[in-house]
Amino acid sequence: MANRDIALESVSVTEKTAIAAARMLGRGDVVEADRVAVEAMWRSLSEMNYAGRVIVGEGEKGEVEYLYVDESIGGADTPIFDLAVAPLEGATIVATGGANAISILAIGEEGAFTPLPETYMFKIAVGPGAAGVIDATKPVTDNVRTVAEKLGKPLEELTVVILDRPRHEKIISELRDVGVRIRLITDGDVAAAVATAIDGTGLDMLVGTGGAPQGLLTAAALKCLGGDFQGILKPRNRNDVEKARQLGLTNIEEVFTIEKLVKGKVMFIATGVTDGELLKGVRFSRDGARTTSLVVNSVNGTMRYVESFYHIERE
């Protein structure tokens, strides 16, 4: 999975997707921003010199046309990889001209990724400095105290990132009472979680409830970066519970660790669409587009930032 050819070929997938999505910046059309990103990633993956099976995608077959769960994609019969994709994490961000939108591709050995239903998941994510001390079954306030102690920071200097949602009002109030710094984000909890494992971002910990499939993407990234992750499914209704059981997830209260979600060798790739703490966004010039990507693998933890320039023919 540390194969350099696979990495270089695969990073072009998120680069081309990011360029397509970036053209929709600030245009107010969330659906269109998502559509162009999905189609761009599908086209790029179809040309890869490997075969992929989508484990985390855009939805179920019949509900979406491209990148549906269990779709086989690629330009070769072998090797075969598990794929987890988020063509555009932050469609609303792009549509409103915001920050921290990224395009994501995670690649694992066949059978590496645990399928998750399209439902919610409570998540805690931290970087390498706090790995091994989080516990999703304990109150958030207990976790922030433990993480602060592990990092050697006073609580008033610990920065916790959380999605700005009504469902998080109680947690946000508790965090304020504890006295930590709080970074509220509108979208993009994968980017925020990954940023906790990158020096210089200023983010120490992510907490809160978001999409379960995005939890797998986060786990893949943090496996490569040496961070830590725990998640617990939060089904919205009985249908979500049934979907989980169909995937063999009979214990709805199970704590999903990195080890349970991601097995074997994996690679995580992300390209910035708009500027953020994690990555610079796409920059267009007269001659083309410049991208910045993050490529990490679990074999040796190598982290690479890749700058690419795509020449664009102008009429």
Q: What is the pLDDT of residues 132-173, one digit of tens each?
A: 999 999 999 999 999 999 999 999 999 999 999 999 999 999
Mean pLDDT of successive 10-residue stretches along the chain, which has 315 residues:
74 97 98 98 94 94 93 88 97 96 96 95 98 97 98 98 97 98 95 95 97 97 97 95 92 96 96 96 96 94 93 74
Task: Tell me the C-alpha distance between 170 and 288, whole Å.
Answer: 46
CATH class of the domain whose range is 120-261: alpha beta
Token pair in block for residue 188: 């993009």
CB contact at 8 A, 183 and 88 = no
CB atoms within 10 A of CB 283: 14
Where do the CATH 3.30.540.10 domains begin and end in the chain? Answer: 4-112+266-311
- The per-residue pLDDT for 127 is 97
User: What digits encode the pLDDT tens for the residues 224-237?
Assistant: 999 999 999 999 99
The reported pTM is 0.94
pLDDT of 300: 85
Please state which architecture CATH assigns to domain 4-112+266-311: 2-Layer Sandwich (3.30)
Tokens encoding 55: 């484990």
Looking at the chain, the domain(s) classified CATH 3.40.190.90 span 120-261
Residue 274 in contact with residue 186, Cβ under 8 Å?
A: no
Contacts 24+ apart (CB under 8 A), 135-141: 135/230, 136/230, 136/231, 136/232, 136/255, 137/232, 137/255, 139/174, 140/171, 140/174, 140/175, 140/207, 141/174, 141/175, 141/177, 141/178
- CA geometry: angle at 9 spanning 37 and 225, to 5°? 85
